[in-house]
Amino acid sequence: MFEFSCIAYSELGVNEYKNDVEKWCEKTLEVDEENIEALIRRAEVYMLKEEYEDAMRDFKKAYELNKTDSRASEGYNKAQKLHRQAGLKNYYKVLGVDKQASKNQIKKSYRNLAKAWHPDKYSGDDPKGAAKRYNDITEAYDVLSNDELRARFDNGDDPNSQEQQNHHHGGFNFQGGGHQFFQQGHGGGNDFHFSW
């Protein structure tokens, strides 16, 4: 009964029914703490609520219970990236636009902000702060105006992060507790390597 409600509300839409999904999935897990559907669907709610550590915990447990369910490993990887990104710059916030902003809205906001903060035009008391703000605005625009970079950013990568530039490749690391659980091979194929 609880599992049916957990799944049904999730299928109706996690965005609209996140409180119901969380409630019924938690009731399901009280009865059966190894219910993979409830773990994955509750993790999706945690992602919406930006509670990435809780999401990673549920995805990891679901993965350990069923290593063939790709939703668990993919969800974990996305939660891990978004968790890391939460500590990085928010390019949307820098430009004062929301995530659904069109290219035109992004460009318009960039132009207005760049005019106001350009070091040659700035007339306030903090020229160094203005230069930094201008650089942040330009960096944000460079990412959000490029479809590929914007998609990477939306998926939890910061294309301007030194760490991301040094380690960006086609695979993901599924990590937890200091052990590597999942790694996609670098050969472009889907050869998965598991180690404990």
What's the confidence (pLDDT) of residue 170? 43
What's the confidence (pLDDT) of residue 162? 59
pLDDT in tens, 72-124: 999 999 998 888 777 778 899 999 999 889 999 999 999 999 999 988 888 88
Fold of the 91-160 domain? Helix Hairpins (1.10.287)
What is the strand order of the sheet 173-176 is part of? Answer: 173-176, 179-184, 192-193
Q: Was domain 2-87 assigned CATH 1.10.10.410?
A: no
Q: How far is CA 45 from CA 36, 42, 64, in A?
A: 14, 5, 20
Burial class (CB in 10 A: 0-12, 13-18, 19+), 1: exposed
The tally of CA atoms less than 13 A away on the side-chain side of residue 144 is 28
Q: How far is CA 27 from CA 5, 18, 35, 145, in A?
A: 10, 14, 11, 44
What's the confidence (pLDDT) of residue 158? 77
26 membership: H or E segment, kind and range: helix 18-31
Mean pLDDT of the chain: 82
pLDDT in tens, 26-51: 999 999 999 999 999 999 999 988 89
The tally of CA atoms less than 13 A away on the side-chain side of residue 97 is 23
* pTM (2 d.p.): 0.54
Q: What separation, in Å, do the N-terminal and C-terminal C-alpha atoms of the chain show?
A: 36
- The full set of domain ranges for the chain reads 2-87, 91-160
